[in-house]
Chain A
Amino acid sequence: MVATNRIEVKKTYKLFINGAFPRSESGRVFEVLSKKGEFIANPCLASRKDLRDSVTAARAAQHGWAKATAYNRGQILYRIAEMLEGRAEQCAAEISATTAITPLKAQSMVSEAIDRWVWYAGWSDKLSAVTGATNPVAGPYYNFTIPEPLGVVVVTASDSFIDFIDAIAAAVVSGNSVIALVDGGLSVPAMTFAEVLATSDLPAGVINILTGSLDELAPWAASHMDVDGFDISAISKKKRTELKVAGAENLKRIYSADGKLTPSRILAFMEQKTVWHTIGV
């Protein structure tokens, strides 16, 4: 038996960019305290340069991720659920430590989050069946419409671990690469979740997680010309206008969820491509 007075080895919280765990290039951190005011961790306060690096990593990873078979993507998402199951206790402990959520409730939240990954995993190879179409055009053409991933999507999360999971999973399942911006106490379980991702066969750069301040990072994400989609669900209503205006510069697809679990959230970050081909001998 290990002695009970052993000094615990505590985790250094870093960012998750391109499959690695770097510190913020800015060298900044912020303090996360428990509800009672006890120190919990010093997550990185990501900077706009960290965001820029994440976008570069996400862009590089996106093509390969989209090209992977839907079956393969589905299995990797399912693997995330498997891995999260193994870290469920830790995540739940971090959630309850950083919020007012009771340990019991936190455990059921993580269980729900695991189930969400399973739900999203199953969508990967059904999206085109559900939202694609073959179109009976009036002429000798084969014509079909299929959904395709958008590209690089930035998502936001601030309070709820489940919202954090939903935002990432909805964007990533179709073949987008994702940068998740997380603030506050959620940063602690979010970085534990990053460790789940690191062991889930997920290619580097497909999901990147930046902890810090949404207020600081969101405008940079909105104006970044190599970001194709932006999920602003965690941004307060009055701050959304500014982001939408900035996002208009490259006509980003900007979306905010209404709290329902729906494939619409997946489709919000997909394009519909229509292909015509002549039919003849």
Chain B
Amino acid sequence: MTFEYAPALESRAIVTIKPKYGHFINGAFVSGKKHFPTINPATEEILSHLSLGSASDIDKAVAAAQKAYTKTWSKLSGKERGKYLYRIARILQERAREFAVLETLDNGKPIRETRDIDIPLVAAHFFYHAGWADKLDYAGLGQSPQPYGVAGQIIPWNFPLLMLAWKVAPALATGNTVVLKPAETTSLTALLFAEVCQQAELPDGVVNIVTGDGSTGATLVNHPGVHKIAFTGSTEVGKKIARAIAATDKKATLELGGKGANIVFDDAPVDEAVEGIVNGIFFNQGHVCCAGSRLILQESIAEEIIEKLKVRMAKIRVGDPLDKNTDLGAINSREQLTKIQELAAVGDAEGAQRWSPQCNLSEKGYWFAPTIFTGVTQAHRIAQEEIFGPVLSVITFRTPQEGIDKANNTPFGLSAGIWSEKGSRTLWASQQLRAGVIWANTFNKFDPTSPFGGYKESGWGREGGKHGLAAYLKNGKESGAK
């Protein structure tokens, strides 16, 4: 007899999903004219219908944000702003399980991750930024740094509520008001967050949420009433935004794509490195901009690591995201699944060797087994293009410098991992790598105090920590240079 884990489903009774949602503008829900369905990617069940944000919806939301900025939010002291953020953090903690279940239903990610990672980090992010609101003079941006006004924020579907927190918390702490456009496929937790704003009695119009698709986002970017753009998403769209605002004075922070290198040296702590590789690429189905999607292995231990990795991958539990024992959930959308399938097929065609453990994937919903490609070289497309799925490309190197050179051989520069037990080598590698976030003997760790953001085509600016505040503030008066 073997140790089969019986289904351990988290109850969905804790969430109430309305059949139809409007936008959240000026403190109230207002229905849009057109609606579109939002589904559970694990089952293809239609969860609800969301309003498709039109130009006039964006107008109203920006006007509400502008009014709230002028009339209330900019007049409030930092101390009082901070208290609203603390309230939000506390309510998020109180309702954490509800958010976790809803996020899992809407996104397809495992409940273990929403429960243990996404939602706790969301609350932590608000709690952290709440404390900044009345301390901005000490942020290294001069005396009385000033907010921009209305921030237009566009977030992706991979960490729906967490990305909302990364955007909304610093914007509000620094005194900006917000119009947020959640991702088309994952808006439900943002709309539940609107209820949290109501419970926290946040002044009307400080946070506005307009649901919709790419066109809604583009309208927001181009709206003349928006002074600051914050976007997380693909590099392709990031470039479009950079062009769209070129003629304006709008500031932008862009958190874009990546092709993170996870470098394993021959003196790595092997078992933890294998865990780190798994966490690097299979966390959140690989839907992570900073995923360690390129495994860069020192040739002398490549065989051992790959063997252990395969054994470990066979233990990955793929299945119902609401099952507390699921490690790998559903791919977020049909569109994303197709993209992953296409790029994996390119890997096959280019002659890389594909391997996946035996997985019983459900007929319904969108699924992709954890996959590694060995025999990959820099010239392969799967070594260069972001797949944004549970697909790992394995590349080998002979000397430390060669490993670094391969890691840096990409237009991206978001994240990298280093696995070594030798401190001096780790610090050397961390200096050589051209990436904004370096994880040494760990991977995919996030914290509100820790600045996050990319080099090169992975984006502009940082989110989190002291450095993240700069994205939402005009420099204040500096004490004289001379």
Contacts and interface: CB of A to CB of B under 8 A. Distances in A.
A119 B439 CA distance: 35
Given A138-B447, A262-B478, A251 B456 contact: yes
**What does DSSP make chain A's interface, helix, strand, loop or mixed?**
mixed
Contacts of B440: 275-278
Nearest to B121: A138
A141 B446 CA distance: 11
Interface of A: 119, 130-131, 133, 135-139, 141, 143, 145, 228, 240-242, 244-245, 247-251, 253, 260-262, 264, 271-278
A244 B242 contact: yes
Give the top 7 A-B pairs by smallest Cβ distance, nearest first: A244-B246, A248-B242, A137-B447, A277-B440, A241-B247, A135-B449, A275-B438
A272 B460 CA distance: 10
B186 interface: no
A118 to B, nearest CB: 11
Given A143-B450, A273-B430, A276-B437, 4 more contacts: A135-B447, A135-B451, A272-B436, A277-B440
Given A241-B247, A245-B243, A145 B451 contact: yes
Nearest to A66: B431
A274 B452 contact: yes
Contact of B465 (A133, A271, A277): A133
Given A137-B449, A241-B246, A277 B426 contact: yes
A133 B466 contact: yes
Interface string B445-482: 10101111101110110100111000000010010011
12 contacts: A137-B450, A242-B246, A248-B246, A260-B478, A262-B475, A262-B481, A271-B436, A272-B451, A272-B462, A272-B467, A274-B438, A274-B452
Interface of B: 124, 140, 235, 238-239, 242-243, 246-247, 254, 256, 411, 426, 430, 435-442, 445, 447, 449-453, 455-457, 459-460, 462, 465-467, 475, 478, 481-482
A278 B441 contact: yes
A263 B481 CA distance: 9
Contacts of A271: 436, 455
Contact of B467 (A130, A143, A145, A241): A145
A252 to B, nearest CB: 9
B447 A143 contact: yes
Contacts of B462: 272, 274
Given A248-B242, A278-B440, A135 B456 contact: no
Contacts of A274: 436-438, 450-452, 462, 465
A133 B239 contact: no
B169 to A, nearest CB: 15
Contacts of A119: 481-482
Contacts of B124: 138
Contact of A276 (B254, B256, B442): B442
A137 B451 CA distance: 10
